[in-house]
Amino acid sequence: MSSPTPLALPTGVTGHVSFYAAEYDPKTRQPLRALTLGNPEDLQPLASIFKPLILQGVLQDVDAGKLRLNTVFTTTAANRSIEDYPAGNNTLQVLAKRAIYLSDNTASDILQLAYGPERLARAVRQSSPCTSVLLTTKAWWGAQAGLIPSVMTTNTAAGARVFGAQPFAQRLVTAKNLIAASQKLTGPDVERKLDVYFNGPTYTADMEVNLQNTSTARAYTDLMAQTLSGAALKPTTRKVFRDILATGCCRPKAPKLNATYWAAKAGSGWGILTLTGYVETPDGRNFAYTYLNDSSVTTDAEEMEKQIRPVVLWIEQNILALRTPR
């Protein structure tokens, strides 16, 4: 049972917004009641909120004996993405913390490459057919910046539309080629070209949904209700997972919601802000939510991030409203 939220969005939020928050049955993980805003079935870019899926995957490989928490990975020119990055050698556990707490793109990409991008794409699709996690951050930004014409053609926007419309099997092939091509680029070059692209005349908002990893607010909330509890992991890795996700952005600084566990992850981009999370309360109730905003008139990612605090408070009010009826 779902109904529109009666709560107005915070002042300053513009663009395409969809939101879905629900209470879930702790045993079946099925939604019991939900509040929505916009169309929770709209496909939208996830930005960085896809990163918990990578963390779950590599920790499942730890459970299977394929990796260890202290497995060491090396940052190279090939796997370094944009923005700050972990230099030198770092363990899986260090990279996992950075991928969530700092939303470190290089840490996330290294772990996604270790797990296997196609393997992750197939696992996500099996769990959530409306969710697509096909590319590393460096691959989609390299493509978006126009640096991979060998795959996207010289008309990047048109190439992105072709990629977005391909059937899943073909998207896997294209994604593999984009990831391989992106490893020939340097992170700083991608970042510089992105700035030129975002501020230039060729920017098209539909490229975000065609190139980024995507889902709908409803589908992703359902997926996070399963994922963020850590139920798919063994006790040791489950604790690692939950401890790390409890550091993710963001929660209210002075929460009114009494939570024993609040996993969260945020993402931002050019005109994009995304937030997802999962909450357990002392009386054994479970809640999850996803907020997706793209095509905002506020474009710069750092400016978008200023909306996080008021939107998080708004999300908390929605969870409190869901919590009231029993």
Could you give the CA distance from residue 312 to residue 219 in angstroms, rounded to a whole number? 20
pLDDT at site 231:
97
Q: Are 10 and 304 in contact (CB under 8 A)?
A: no
Instruction: Establish if 285 belongs to a structural domain.
Output: yes
- Backbone dihedral angles phi then psi of residue 30, each to the nearest 5 degrees: -95, 145
Could you give the CA distance from residue 262 to residue 241 in angstroms, rounded to a whole number? 12
Instruction: Establish if 186 belongs to a structural domain.
Output: no
For residue 249, cis peptide bond before it (omega within 30 degrees of 0): no
Could you give the CA distance from residue 147 to residue 181 in angstroms, rounded to a whole number? 9
Could you give the CA distance from residue 108 to residue 138 in angstroms, rounded to a whole number? 10
pLDDT at site 325:
61
Could you give the CA distance from residue 271 to residue 300 in angstroms, rounded to a whole number? 6
Instruction: Establish if 67 belongs to a structural domain.
Output: yes
pLDDT at site 304:
92
pLDDT at site 1:
83
The ranges of the chain with pLDDT < 70 are 325-326
pLDDT at site 324:
86
Instruction: Establish if 115 belongs to a structural domain.
Output: yes
Alpha helix (H) ranges present in 33-78? 51-63
Domain count of the fold of the chain: 1
pLDDT at site 326:
53
pLDDT at site 300:
86
Residue 131: CB partners within 8 Å, gap ≥ 6? 124, 125, 213, 214, 215, 216, 219, 220, 223
Please give the residue range of the domain that contains residue 39.
2-133+213-323
Where residue 117 sits, what CATH number does that domain have?
3.40.710.10
